[in-house]
Amino acid sequence: MDISEDKIVPIVYSANKKVSEGVILSALSVAYRCSRPVRVYVLTMDLPDMDARYTSITEETVKKLDGALKTVNGLNEAVRVDVTELFKRELSDSKNLKSKFTPYAMLRLLVDLLDMPDRAIYLDVDTMCCSDISLLYDIDIEDYEFAAVLDKVGHIYVRPRYCNTGVLYCNLKKVRETRLFERARQMVRKRKLFMPDQSSLNFLVKKKLILPYRFNEQRQIKEDTVIKHLCRYFKWYGPFFRLKNVKQWERDKVHEVLGITAFDDIYELYDKLDKIYDFGVE
């Protein structure tokens, strides 16, 4: 069965081997709840000279993901994109290589250089879909470079319109016209930033669409939440705030610390498919 490209929802992740389970869980949640076929692009790279942990997600793992996604919808697919050489060319001299975040976070800044549709949704690995991501993909962003949700902390302490780019709906046609990602790469090469990729995009974007929190819920899941982002957050334990950081692959903590059961059907699906594809923990 053939289907036009504009009916396929393109999803982009950037990750290393260490978080392969997170990519699979997130992608399954997207596909399982999506009313359309999805094409998952997994951007990855090898930088062992910088850190022994910086190894790419293997072709075998992505093939297993592809098979798993096809059990949900036969038109789904997963594609591995090795951007090692592209990263070395564009960002190897960045002042932000040794920051609180791994270099993999900056891979989203290379998307304009890849063979991708005019629109694509970038997702951080620590995101899970609670409902149909087509609700996001159907939003008109023709006049915007990207659409994103305000960062819960950043929009207070950095800038009023400072967005969290863990969910980034990109208009790549517009981005290529304005050279937004190109200019962001230049910025992270030359200027030390706390959150390099996110801040560079926020500081340089000319026109962005601010989305409701339901598309990147950074706190409690609501009835209308589309995407839950399991990002770091501070919780008050009088007399101090403590940083909490629970990811979807830490199932016991998701249940006990976060009190979330909304992903249980995805965990059940993952376990069922794991018996077939043997995902393993690389």
Domain CATH number, residue 129:
3.90.550.10
Residue 32 has pLDDT above 70, yes or no: yes
Res 256: pLDDT: 95
Binning the chain into helix, strand and coil, the percentages to the nearest 5 are 40, 20, 40
Lowest-confidence region among 35-49, 71-85, 116-130, 237-251:
237-251
For residue 282, being part of any structural domain is answered with no
pLDDT: is 101 or 166 the higher one? 166
- Work out the pLDDT band at 236, boundaries 50, 70, 90: very low
Instruction: Measure the CA–CA gap between 93 and 16, rounded to whole angstroms.
Output: 20
Q: Which domain, by its residues, includes 58?
A: 5-277
Do 114 and 81 form a contact (C-beta atoms < 8 A)? yes
- Work out the pLDDT band at 239, boundaries 50, 70, 90: low
Residue 252 has pLDDT above 90, yes or no: yes
Res 232: pLDDT: 78
Average pLDDT over all residues of the chain: 93
Q: Which residues of 200-233 are buried (b: 16+ CB within 10 A; e: fewer)?
A: bbbebbeebbebebbbbbbeebeeebbbbbbbeb
Edge-to-edge order in the sheet of strand 208-211: 77-82, 38-44, 9-14, 119-123, 163-171, 146-150, 208-211
pLDDT: is 102 or 171 the higher one? 171
- Work out the pLDDT band at 16, boundaries 50, 70, 90: very high
Residue 234 has pLDDT above 60, yes or no: no
Res 194: pLDDT: 87
Residue 178 has pLDDT above 70, yes or no: yes
Q: Give the pair of three-digit tokens for residue 110.
A: 């290379």
The separation between CA 9 and the C-alpha centre of its own chain, rounded to angstroms, equals 14
Closest CA to 225 of 31, 33, 27: 33
For residue 49, being part of any structural domain is answered with yes
For residue 221, being part of any structural domain is answered with yes
- Is the bond preceding 239 in cis, omega lying within 30 degrees of 0? yes
Res 260: pLDDT: 97
Q: Give the pair of three-digit tokens for residue 15.
A: 């990750």
Percent of the chain at pLDDT > 90 equals 85
Is the pTM here over 0.85, yes or no? yes
For residue 167, being part of any structural domain is answered with yes
Q: Crossing angle of helices 59-72/20-33, nearest 10°? A: 20
Residue 82, judged by CB atoms within 10 A of its CB (0-12, 13-18, 19+), counts as middle
Q: Give the pair of three-digit tokens for residue 57.
A: 């997600």
Q: Crossing angle of helices 180-190/196-204, nearest 10°? A: 130
Res 121: pLDDT: 98
Res 18: pLDDT: 94
For residue 104, being part of any structural domain is answered with yes
Residue 1 has pLDDT above 90, yes or no: no
Instruction: Measure the CA–CA gap between 165 and 160, rounded to whole angstroms.
Output: 15
Domain count, the chain: 1
